[in-house]
Amino acid sequence: MSDRVFAEAAGLAARARRPAVFTGAGMSRDSGLRTFRGEEGHWRTHRAEDLATPEALQRDPVTVWQWYAERLACLEGVTPHAGYLALVRWERSAGSLPVLTQNIDGLHSAAGSGDVTELHGTIRTASCTRCRGGRRRVDRSLLADLPPRCECGSVLRPDVVLFGEPLPREALLRAEEAARMTDLMVVVGTSMTVYPAASIPWTALSRGAAVIEINPCPTELSSAPGVLHIPTGAAEGLTRLLEKR
Ligand code: ZN
């Protein structure tokens, strides 16, 4: 990775008045969390696209919850890597740093980021499918007897966006607002293929923001005018970019 590109990116970060960050699966991967798409995207004989749907939850809630229980088990012992902590330091020095994430694992909040928008929801809580009762934290005791149920008797659902569902409206509005207001968006570890979330960096770019993209492989975004592509993983790229923040 050339020092010149890092120096240019670090200069942008130093001058940014309203920075924002957009993250995807590559951010989590550097913490040792395996991703659930691509080669490892199959679970037993099921595809994620067949399990993470409202229909599957209705038809076979036990299998769907077994899958989420395994995903949660994968998160046990996973701690945020140095890139997350660099973002927390940047938030302190910049005064504010909206973090817009496609990830459902809660690692940004666990690291200490104070302004996190979860565009695809969170695997850490569940809600009733019928009575809109209070959210429940998903922990071992909740998963002891599958499927977990609300006091009203109905099956709970994970608070994640399932295939075919719209993104949570409030989260999408907050992310769009942050994208319109920012003068520098740092995009980390996303393939830029999952819409509508992937439209957020394009919004920032079209409103005149500079964009730094940290991704080992180039995406559709990488070669767009105004985008500085840093071809590294999330932990290495963020710690080098923000070492003086
Ligand atoms: Zn209920």
Separation of CA 141 and ligand 1 centre (Å): 18
Annotation marks residue 120 as catalytic: yes
Q: Residues with Cβ within 5 Å of ion ligand 1? A: 128, 131, 133, 150, 152, 154
Distance 119 CA to ligand 1 centre (A): 24
Q: 38 pLDDT exceeds 90?
A: no
The lowest-confidence range among 3-12, 43-52, 225-234 is: 43-52
Task: Calculate how far, in angstroms, residue 63's C-alpha sits from the geometric centre of ligand 1.
Answer: 20
Average pLDDT value over all residues in the chain:
92
CA of 46 to the centre of ligand 1 (A): 28
Residue 20 confidence (pLDDT) above 60: yes
pLDDT (average), residues 190-217: 95
Tens of pLDDT, residue by residue over 89-109, are 999 999 999 999 999 999 999
Q: What percent of the chain has pLDDT over 70?
A: 95
pLDDT computed for residue 50 by the predictor: 82
Distance (Å) from CA 130 to ligand 1 centroid:
5
SS (H, E, C) the chain: CCHHHHHHHHHHHHHCCCEEEEECHHHHHCCCCCCCCHHHCEECCEEHHHHCCHHHHHHCHHHHHHHHHHHHHHHCCCCCCHHHHHHHHHHHHHCCCCEEECCCCCHHHHHCCCCEEECCEEEEEEEECCCCCCCEECCCCCCCCCCCECCCCCEEEEEECCCCCCCCHHHHHHHHHHHHHCCEEEEECCCCCCCCCCHHHHHHHHCCCEEEEECCCCCCCCCCCCEEEECCCHHHHHHHHCCCC
Confidence (pTM): 0.93
Q: Which of 42, 46, 108, 120 is catalytic?
A: 120
| Mean per-residue pLDDT, 6-33 | 93
- Ligand 1 center–CA 78 separation, angstroms: 31
User: What's the pLDDT at 43?
Assistant: 65
Residue 39: pLDDT above 50?
A: no
